[in-house]
Structure 1
Amino acid sequence: MTRPPARLLRALLATCLLVLLPGCATAEPDPLVVLGPWTGKEGEAFEEALRSLDDGTGREYTYEGTRSLRETLLSQMEADDPPDVAILNSIGELTEYARRDRLRPLVGEAADRAYPPWAPALLVDSRARRYWVPLKIDLKSLVWSGKDAPRDDPEWCVGLASQATSGWPGTDWIEDILLHQEGPEFYESWATGRRDWRDPAVRRAWTTWSRLLGDRTPASVQHSLTTSYEGESGTGGPRGLLDSPGFDCTHEHQSAFVRYLYAGDEVRVEPAARYLGGRPEYADAYEVAGDMAAVFSDDPGAQELVERLSGRAGRQRWRAEADPAVRPLFPDTADHPPGPAADPVERRIHELLTEDARTLCFDASDVMPPALRDAFHRAVLEFFRHPSQSRLDTLLGQLETVRLRMDEDYRGDRSFRPPEDICASPGG
């Protein structure tokens, strides 16, 4: 016999109390639980925004922030006690949850805000449905440097370690190179599992990355493999790779979210295209990422919460609560211009998203099924450690084997098709 989930037990207990206690007409509903990736100042700002949303709806919201998001969510689902709403950055994971009927399709205005490329439709039982909505986004195709750093002949900072998914800064490199060398159409078909990993164009992206990084000593390789993008901590906390004494480098390829590590008037941020050996016609294509909200419960309040969080009022509250360095970017960026207190970096990122970008493509590894994504992360670390052609042949062959296994799995499920449209214009 399976154990009833904890939230059901609480509801039954509340019902019993109503019967036993005279004078009680109704029981207050449990707080809606939101599981998300933000901790520290980011988590505090989001929690304050949630708190301010409780303004007459009769519901309270509890936020659980964790850096081990996937592990936490899986353990909660195994206990049959998932959160009401979870915020994830992986389309591949969300696709798997939808396929296993753990997500609820979005309804109302939230479904209308499922902007591409962050929230492609899924085909379930011959019906196109939207299962998540982007709350916060990031621009990835960026290069950071000190204001006085030379623009040519960069020495690249590389920190490949991370708490949850070691290797993703390397996959970001390869994805960005492939996007700018081969264009959005090729990138989209590769990211969604419709291209062989041994394709010469894919191989060229890996070898271009190795060539750009140049020769590295065993000590520098080990240092990169054991240091995260936050670099080495000083008295004030993390200071970024550009400012870490253990790195002798001038440029960093990294997403917009690292602006919290650097003072906005001390760094320069540029489009990555000019550094990647790509084609001029693809210079206005940018890789992006996002944090998407999905509903895991049948409680109507969960749908309402996602609708309110993704609306203009919810975004304004969130933005108002956040410190400038962690102020969120939103998918409809043009409707949320930087305020008068914005620093030059925030203004430049907004300009790139609203004026320079013509095509946005979602982070490829975050589109892939979790098994393929994790294999990609591991392969990047191995190639960085041993960048030989024979090693690359082996790694690409292994990745192709995983891709074929994932493809066979999906082809065997005729009721479901994963997303294929992960590139779109900024306006959707």
Structure 2
Amino acid sequence: MRGRRAALAVALTAAVAVLAGAAVWLVRSAAPERGVTVLASWTGDDAAAFAELTDAFTAETGIAVNYQGTTALREVLLSQVQSGSPPDIAILPSLGQLAEYVERGLAFPLDGAFDERGEAELRAAYGAPWLSPEGLGEPGSIYWFPVKADLKSLVWYDRSRPSADPADGESWCLGMGSDATSGWPGTDWIEDLLLQAPGGLDVYEAWATGDHARWTSPEMRAAWRAFGELVTGNGSGRAVESLTTDYFVASAGLAPDAGPGAQSCALDHRESNARSAYGAADIAYSPSAEVFPGTAGAPNAWEVGGDFAALFRQDPDAEALMAFLASEEAQEIWVREASGDASTPLSAHAGAEAFTGDTDPLTAALTGHLRGAETPRCLDASDTMPPALREAFHLEVLTFLADVPAHLDDPTLLDALLQRLRATGESTAAAHATWLTSTCGPPPR
């Protein structure tokens, strides 16, 4: 027990350390008299690809773009908003955080960026669940759209290696480390296990939109137990190891050329952008519903995430950039410039050109799931939660993984964990935190 507690302490210390040294990377400098400021989390290749996109905008309009990329996006944005100097546009994955800015009147509707026809085209291009739902901010207004999208509910494997047993914990790539957001790979597991269980779509939607009693429901308890049983199968100690293993490093263990000392694994429960971790592996995927125990074998819904753009200053130049970022032209530039041998980003825009089966069959298949109408899509639930609850969810995943056998053997421990999350949800509601009114859509046609 002492070793597990020590491992948890290390993981939590690592999660907090990023706040002391938040990295901010400046990509483009705007002319002092004119320009649009954009804040997002992209650095490295993603930031360079985004710069290609904004260069195209500048070439068309003459409006310069000043981009900041930071690994501590929530903290930097909050500091800038509180100081009265927010960016013109922020692009962030946490819709729970963004919804709070909307309700406080700090993020603005996109009415100035789109006329009536343009708004209709925007709704047709993205639809649910990608645009801000009704019941948030001014009636009928749109507040955000995804610049970049990710498909979740996937289990990756290497086709050149023998089939792996999902019930063996050693099969799974497992790392929880992610600086200030350590634990999120585990919340993805819980969310997806809940979503793919029989009747999971209705349970998931109710839970993600603020039905706090769902935290202590039999369905939620079953999802946590299934997670624990999978990652500790055959006595594996990988759950404890995951507390001090970076999520990207863990995923790299799927590649046959991962190198000495790498955590070798055969199955990885990760989103579509994980492909960049797999090196020379001959990768393929299965829907998680085909791998998880106790499912119908086909997805109830695809869990999805993204990076969502929102307007923090009502400025004509900023509104022009927002309209451009949402456009088919910009989405195609983004996919083209950010593509590579290992990973090509996905676009949720229905009209943006997708890679064909002849040129990139893997990306074509993923895009088909992302945009298809036959299976609903549900936003990552923790991303839509108020930040305090999201952070509590991350922490409780780490607590659970620090001693999975104890939580499985003693039901009162898991019940106490779930009760803490329910209490946090209820306290955030009592403090008038903002909840999305819908996280899934569209229904099958």
Q: TM tier, shorter chain?
A: 0.7 to 0.9
Matched, 1:119 2:131: yes
Matched, 1:35 2:39: yes
**Counterpart in the other structure of 2:442:** 425
- CA spacing shift, 1:385–1:265, aligned 2, 3 Å: closer
**TM value normalised by structure 1:** 0.84
Distance 1:124 1:255 in 2: 28
For the 8 Å contact 1:333–1:350, the answer to whether it is kept is no
Is residue 338 from structure 1 mapped to residue 338 from structure 2 by the alignment?
no
Shift of 1:331: 1.0
Q: Shift of residue 213 of structure 1?
A: 1.5
For residues 242-265 of structure 1, the C-alpha deviation after alignment (integer angstroms, 9 at most, x for no partner) is 134432321010000111122476
Given the alignment, which residue of 148, 169, 194 partners 1:136? 148
Structure 1 residue 100 displacement after superposition: 1.2
Do structure 1's residue 186 and structure 2's residue 203 form an aligned pair? Answer: yes
Work out whether residues 259 and 345 of structure 1, in 8 Å CA contact, stay in contact via their aligned partners in 2.
no
Aligned twin of 1:269 = 285
Which among 41, 44, 49 is matched to residue 45 of structure 1?
A: 49
Q: Secondary structure at the match of 1:173?
A: helix
Distance 1:201 1:426, change over 3 A: closer
Deviations 1:297-339 (A, max 9, x none): 0212111111111101111222232232443211135642215
- Residues 142 and 253, structure 1, Cα contact 8 Å, conserved in 2: yes
Distance verdict in 2 for CA 1:346–1:106, change over 3 Å = same
- Of residues 55, 62, 69, the one that matches 1:58 is 62
| Alignment match, 2:346 | 329
1:295 and 1:134 map into 2 onto residues whose CA distance is: 13
Counting only pairs closer than 5 Å after superposition, residues 7-46 of structure 1 correspond to structure 2 as 29-46=33-50
CA distance in 2, matches of 1:326, 1:275: 23
Task: Deviation per CA, 1:162-212: give whole Å up to 9, x if none.
Answer: 023000000000000000113222101101111411111111100011111
Quote the offset at 1:71 in angstroms: 1.1
Q: Does 1:92 align with 2:96?
A: yes
Partner of 1:353: 370
Q: Which residue of 1 aligns with 2:430?
A: 408
2:263 to 234, 247, 257: 247
Aligned counterparts of 1:56 and 1:175: Cα–Cα separation in 2: 42
Q: Greater shift after overlay, 117-126 or 244-253? A: 117-126
Contact 1:334–1:354, Cα closer than 8 Å, also in 2: no
Q: In structure 1, give the amino acid aligned to 2:424.
A: V
Checking the alignment, whether the CA contact within 8 Å between 1:35 and 1:83 is kept in structure 2 is yes
Identity %: 36
1:76-225 aligned within 5 A: 76-107=80-111, 108=114, 109=118, 112=123, 115-124=127-136, 127-151=139-163, 153-154=165-166, 155-181=171-197, 182-196=199-213, 197-215=215-233, 220-225=238-243
Whether the aligned pair in 2 keeps the contact of 1:183 and 1:282 (CA below 8 Å) is no
2:193/2:223 contact within 8 Å kept:
yes
The worse-fitting range, judged by mean Cα deviation, of 245-254 and 75-84 is 245-254
- Cα 1:267–1:291 change in 2 (3 A) is same
Query: How many residue pairs are counted as aligned between the two chains?
Result: 391
Matched-pair contact (CA < 8 Å) for 2:189–2:269: yes
Worse-matched range after superposition: 363-372 or 265-274: 265-274
Is structure 2 residue 398 aligned with structure 1 residue 386?
A: no
Question: Secondary structure of the residue that 1:338 maps to in structure 2?
Answer: coil
Match of 2:25 in 1: none
CA separation of 1:427 and 1:228: change in aligned 2, threshold 3 A: farther
Amino acid at match of 1:394: A
8 Å Cα contact 2:290-2:298 kept in structure 1:
no
Aligned to 2:329: 313
> Is 2:135–2:437's contact at 8 Å kept on the other side of the alignment?
no
Using the TM superposition, give the Cα deviation of residue 91 of structure 1 relative to its aligned residue in structure 2, in angstroms: 1.1
Gaps of 5+ in 2: 1-30
User: Structure 1 residues 93 and 216 mapped into 2: Cα distance closer, same or farther (>3 Å)?
Assistant: farther
Contact map agreement 1:87 1:291 (CA 8 A) in 2: yes
* Letter of the structure 2 residue corresponding to residue 273 of structure 1: A
Closer/same/farther in 2, CA of residues 114 and 101 from structure 1, 3 Å limit: farther
**Contact conserved, 1:123 with 1:418, CA < 8 A, in 2?**
no
Give distance in 1, aligned partners of 2:180 and 2:438: 27
The whole-number CA distance in structure 1 between the counterparts of 2:179 and 2:348 is 26
Q: Is the 8 A contact 1:134 1:292 kept in 2?
A: yes
The answer on whether the counterparts of 2:188 and 2:380 sit within 8 Å (CA) in structure 1 is: yes
The one-letter amino acid of 1:241's match is: G
Contact kept in structure 2, 1:295 and 1:302, CA below 8 Å: yes
Q: Which amino acid aligns with 2:141?
A: R
Return closer, same or farther for 1:265/1:340 CA change in 2, 3 Å cut-off. Answer: farther
- Opposite residue 218 of structure 2, the aligned amino acid is P
Q: Residue 397 of structure 1 aligns with which residue?
A: 419
Cα offset for 1:342? 4.2
**Structure 1 residues without counterparts, runs of 5 or longer:** 1-26, 233-238, 412-416
Instruction: Report the residue type matching 1:100 in the other structure.
Output: R
Q: Hey, what's the Cα distance between the residues in 2 that align with 1:122 and 1:355?
A: 22
Secondary structure of the 2:181 match is coil
Separation (CA, whole Å) in 2 of partners of 1:328 and 1:427? 25
Pick closer, same or farther for the CA change 1:218–1:151 going to 2, 3 Å.
Answer: closer
- The 1:87–1:355 alpha-carbon spacing in structure 2 relative to 1, beyond 3 Å, is closer
Q: 1:269 to 1:124 in 2, by over 3 A?
A: closer
Q: Deviations over 1:214-256 (max 9, x none)?
A: 2487964443111122117xxxxxx713134432321010000
Is the contact between residue 230 and residue 241 of structure 1 (CA under 8 Å) also seen in structure 2? Answer: no
SS of 1:157's equivalent in the other structure is coil
